[in-house]
Amino acid sequence: MTASERAARGRAARKRVPRSSHGGFEPAPGRADPVELLELQARTRVAELVPIRHGRMLASPFAFYRGAALIMAGDLASTPTSGFTVQACGDAHLSNFGMFASPERNLVFDINDFDETLPGPWEWDLKRLCASVLIAGQDNGFASSGSDRAVLATVASYRSALTRFASQGNLAVWYAHLDVEPALERFGGRLRPRTRKRTEHEIAKAHTRDSVSAFAKIADERSGEPRIIADPPLVVPIGELAYVSRDALFARLRELLDAYCRSLPRDRRTLLTQFQLVDFARKVVGVGSVGLRAWIALLVGRDGRDPLVLQLKEAQASVLEGYVAKSRFSNHGRRVVEGQRLMQESSDIFLGWVRLGPEAQETPEERAGDFYGRQLRDWKASAQVERMRPRDLCDYGRLCGWTLARAHARTGERIAIAAYLGGGDTFDRAILAFTRDYAEQNRRDYASFRSAVESGRLPATTGL
């Protein structure tokens, strides 16, 4: 189709699904009990870590929202969609955006979590992002007007970015990226002095967050060989895991690492084989991800001052799979990696996937499963959402809105979506109405969750 025909498709979709129809949220009849959904997820996770997940979600309505991607996926499935599909993140909340290093050693800003990625409606990602903006504003004690402005800024940024990308060629869209330091130099004058100073501090700190700093934090040398330091239950070296032999598990995980290496491009495999594996540990990561197995592998290069720390994280079925077509990939680790490469302009040089095969034992640590790997740290840093003021949240929402639009433009009908959105704020206002209603639904779900913890139905360990 020509560009004008694609735009006509987008405008025609307004008749089938008016932009105003996205406003508001009503729970669907027979909506699943949110506590039951969390219990369902817990069945496939490491049982001893599930209370930590619940404890982290208990911290606030925003923390609960971060772990409630499965709950919201069911809710989004009942909302209107224009019919245009993109490679969706599946969990596009504020804390899943951040800074990291590109292979060219530039600090870039992008989406940084793809555990739930799958082709799906673009509206679902945008609604999850915007609801997170409103919920974060409420948690930070903003007046309703401040939270509303941040939501409208986020939607407007997404809409205007899609419009720009719709006018650009395919290569221009594919190469579009956001280098953090040039952007701060260009737009930093808009920031409050205190915010700019904090941002500059976070950028400087990000440059120190690499395998060398990770090694200094998590490892020391025992008997002349580097070993990962225990910090249970958050970091547990494999020799300290119950019901499993260190030697047996080390051998299984070495096989896992070798198979993961084969998923990398040849140049990256060559680089990785120059490092020697010395230790493994299980690590607790994130909020919603807690309970999924996450291994950190400690390797050394030319000497003990040349470390590499990799993370191999379990990937299960996307929360979207019950509502859209299943993944074309049989390995969920590969699903995550392929989706990440589609949506990000730059990805970790060690991004790869692997399966721990069916011959694995049925202990929690050794059971079969899919994993994806990357560096544990490579200048990675996230914004401190809980410290933001209304103007900060507006600016950050704009940044995330642009970034999400860029990701969607790479894989979807950007011309049709831009034509559907239009140049006015009709869609923006509808999304604001949706986020207000969904924030209230999230508060009700959070209250149900708290009650389940207080009654003993859900185990929770706080402070970790």
The pLDDT tens digits of the residues spanning 271-309 come to 999 999 999 999 999 999 999 999 999 999 998 789 999
- Write the pLDDT tens digit of every residue in 120-135: 999 999 999 999 999 9
Query: Residue 23 pLDDT > 90, yes or no?
Result: yes
Query: Residue 230 pLDDT > 70, yes or no?
Result: yes
Q: Where are the domains of the chain?
A: 3-206+386-454, 211-375
Q: What global pTM score does this model have? A: 0.95
Confidence at residue 195, expressed as pLDDT on a 0 to 100 scale = 81
Tokens found for residue 14 = 């307004």
Neighbours of 441 (CB within 10 A): 18
Average pLDDT, the chain: 94
Query: Which residue(s) pair with 74 in the sheet?
Result: none
d(CA 439, CA 105): 38
Confidence at residue 180, expressed as pLDDT on a 0 to 100 scale = 92
Confidence at residue 428, expressed as pLDDT on a 0 to 100 scale = 98
- Write the pLDDT tens digit of every residue in 369-384: 999 999 998 888 888 9
- Write the pLDDT tens digit of every residue in 198-208: 888 888 888 88
The average pLDDT across 24-46 equals: 96
Binned at pLDDT 50, 70 and 90, residue 359 comes out as low
Which residues, 6 or more positions from 90, have their beta carbon under 8 angstroms from its beta carbon? 69, 73, 114, 115, 116, 117, 118, 120, 124, 125, 318, 319, 320
**Percentage of residues of the chain with pLDDT beyond 70:** 98
d(CA 159, CA 401): 8
Confidence at residue 198, expressed as pLDDT on a 0 to 100 scale = 83
Confidence at residue 223, expressed as pLDDT on a 0 to 100 scale = 67
Confidence at residue 245, expressed as pLDDT on a 0 to 100 scale = 83
Query: Residue 108 pLDDT > 80, yes or no?
Result: yes
Confidence at residue 361, expressed as pLDDT on a 0 to 100 scale = 61
Which residues, 6 or more positions from 247, have their beta carbon under 8 angstroms from its beta carbon? none
